[in-house]
Amino acid sequence: MTRSPGGGRAWIRSLAALGAVVVGAALWTASGRAAGQDPAAEPNANDLAAGLRIYRQKADCQACHGWAGDGRNMDTQMPSGANLRTTRLGRAGIVYAIKCGRPGREMPAFDRLAYTDDRCNGTTRADLDRQNLRLPDPAATLQPREIEQLADFLFAKVIGKGPMDHAACVEFWGSDVDVCAEFPD
């Protein structure tokens, strides 16, 4: 039996690496907040404000997920992101998705060291390349604390909050801003 260079073993290793990413995301989803954090702790107002700035400006999450996190983006040049208002990911799953992205699904990794060491389940950029999985560049990389602030904001204002309506829009922005007019009372 003749094997091609890299043979079946390389394919099996690539499949195993992809499986490790999927299993890691599932474990992060099931585990709630990151280790060492009190799941009952409420984020403070400064962290929520920082998370909003990161969502809207630094990471520019709204470009794909929409300003309300409902997946309705207004820029036809950007891919449509997941509806974060209805996601079933837990806090740790969201943190993992922000940190490591979703290879092959247009979600960038915001951790500058993602896929350079074992932080994304030991999967490397070379593993992604071998599997032909694209990982877009993020608008900016985020520090671990910024990822936590972004997750705090998302859980306080977006995730599990149901569809956007006028009252939710006013609560989201803190006042009755112009964009809230698209939602009737």
Q: With a cut of 90, say whether residue 30 has pLDDT above it.
A: no
Contact 154, 56 (CB under 8 A): no
Range 84-94 average pLDDT = 95
The mean per-residue pLDDT over the stretch 160-184 comes to 87
Q: Calculate what percentage of the chain has a pLDDT beyond 70.
A: 75
| Across 156-179, average pLDDT | 89
Sign of CA dihedral 61, 65, 66, 68: negative
CB 14 within 8 A of CB 130: yes
Closest residue by Cα to residue 61 from 129, 146, 133, 177? 146
- 127-133-103 Cα angle (round to 5): 95
Torsion angle of the four alpha carbons 147, 153, 155, 160, in this order, in degrees rounded to the nearest 10: -130
Residue 77: the pLDDT is: 65
**Residues 108-119: what's their mean pLDDT?**
94
Q: What is the pLDDT of residues 125-143, one digit of tens each?
A: 999 999 999 899 999 999 9
Model pLDDT for residues 32-75, shown as the tens digit of each residue: 444 344 555 788 999 999 999 999 999 999 999 998 999 887 66
